[in-house]
Amino acid sequence: MSIEGKLVLEVEWNGKRVTGTCIRSTRPAHASMILEGRLAREARALVPRLYSVCGKAQAAAASLACDFAAGAESPAAAWRECRVIGECAQEYLWRLLLDLPPLLGEAGQLQELAGLHRRTGHLNADIAEEQYLRTRHGAQLNDWLRLADEVERFVAGCMLGMPADEWARCSLDEWLIEGATGTARTIARLISEPMCASEVAPLPWLAAEELKAGIAPALAAGDEFMRTPTWCGRPAETGAWARQRAHPRLCGFSHRGIAARVLARLIELVNIPARLRALVAGEAYSPWVRGAQVAPGVGIAAAETARGTLVHCVALDGARIARWRSVAPTEWNFHPAGAFVRGLAGTEAHSEAGVRRAATLLAHALDPCVGFDVVVHHA
Amino acid sequence: MCLAIPSKVIEVRAGMASVECFGARREVSLLLLGEDVALGDYVLVQAGGYAYARLDQARALDALALIAEVNAQLDAVD
């Protein structure tokens, strides 16, 4: 068994369609509990070392939850926000250019991505928040502007085939049909795949009040919420599609399932340079990293990631962690009755290979932060 | 949650490396890394098998110790 855990996606198929899906997870959803008993300043520094996947978002949510718990000032807000957004861009580029294209018979764009990494990897280099606050070393404002410029140029040249503002105005159907870029061809191919749309509602934007009144009590009520989270008593889907579902591009997009999830990622990636510039300019924005004090000594914070909303909730006993609970996006989307299970339900497939393909593509669209295996059972 | 296990580089050849963590060995691409790696270095590997970051040894060993603690916790529950 891999230590980081894995999802085993067991799919029942009757020769014509999917009749049921069960998810077995060996992900250590309760891993955050090893932070309990430690000094808060030690624990918050350990979080990105423990949770390296989306480590900057993990660090941001953990630090902010600790700050709220302690009733302390949180001085690094803009820096945290830029790091989280930069990390999201990196994850989207990997998904869209490395991981997804080969599944659809498209060549990945490793060389182009490697070039971007060489030019920009140091701009969002890993540095502990405590070190940043002490030394102010690490990414400065100009670095984020440079990252914005690099990502914008890269996306326009390698993915859209045109400047972002031109893409925003063009006919999406024509862009897909023309297929001038690998990204366009990848999304176009997804449209011909099973839709795998589900009726699972998107997780709404969890602002401070929702975190405090909705998520914190659920985490306090029992540890199961970390593994099977719900919103208003029901599973919910989190990720780029949940955040962007009202975007005009998505509202008018007829393919509501897998392709829409991938298109949503592209939409967010295209908007990331503007978001970074707005942050640096000090413009008002709806922060991707936010939180609240639930009660004296208890803080909760959320950070948006490429995979969706990540939450940390911390209770202090003096300077030490009394209780640490977390919910990752994967647990929302791979809930036993969530977007993956409901999306695959009833999917038509006339071969085992077809079942496996649909399940694999839907899993990629919902993007768990661990590896997964698809197992097909003949019903 | 979202653990990425630091993997130790045990062999390097053109653009690829063999890495090991907790006894498991795998082949990874080094093309996303903007720096050279050497035997004994620790790297983080993304889902598609591409190393994307090199960790300094202290940080890697901290992470491995934490992950081993999580693993021990899971074993105790089982």
The model's pLDDT over A176-211, given as tens digits with 9 standing for 90+, comes to 999 999 999 999 999 989 889 888 999 999 999 999
Instruction: Provide the percentage of residues in chain B whose pLDDT is more than 90.
Output: 33
Number of Cβ pairs closer than 8 Å across A and B?
98
Those residues with Cβ within 8 angstroms of residue A91's Cβ, 6 or more apart along the chain or in another chain: A54, A305, A306, A307
Write the single-letter amino acid at A69.
A
| Pick from B4, B50, B70: CB nearest A98 | B50
Cβ contact, residue pair A369, B73, below 8 Å: no
pLDDT, tens digit (0-9, with 9 covering 90-100), for A293-312: 999 999 999 999 999 999 99
Could you tell me if A360 lies within 8 Å of chain B, comparing CB atoms? no
Q: What is the mean pLDDT of residues A105-119?
A: 88
pLDDT of residue B34: 73
CA distance A259 to A144: 30
Comparison of pLDDT for B32 and A96, the residue scoring more: A96
Residue A100 CA: distances (Å) to CA of A80, A261, B61? 28, 12, 32
Provide the chain A residues 257-286 that lie in CB contact (below 8 A) with chain B: none
More confident residue, B16 or A53: B16
pLDDT at A12: 97
Q: Which residue has the higher pLDDT, B62 or A131?
A: B62
Q: What is the pTM of this model?
A: 0.93
Between CA A255 and CA A238 the distance in angstroms is: 18
Give the distance from residue A284's alpha carbon to the nearest chain B alpha carbon, in angstroms.
31
> Is residue B1 very low, low, confident or very high in pLDDT (cuts 50, 70, 90)?
low
ipTM of the complex: 0.86
- State whether B66 and A99 contact (CB < 8 Å): no
Residue B31 with chain A: CB contacts under 8 Å: 110-111, 114
Q: Does B40 touch chain A (CB under 8 A)?
A: no
Judged by a CB distance cut-off of 8 A, whether residue B57 touches chain A is no
Q: Which of chain A's residues have a Cβ under 8 Å away from the Cβ of B7?
A: none
Of A2-11, A272-281, B66-75, where does the model show the most confidence? A272-281
What single DSSP character describes residue A213?
A: I
Looking at the complex, does the CB of residue B3 fall below 8 Å from at least one CB of chain A? yes
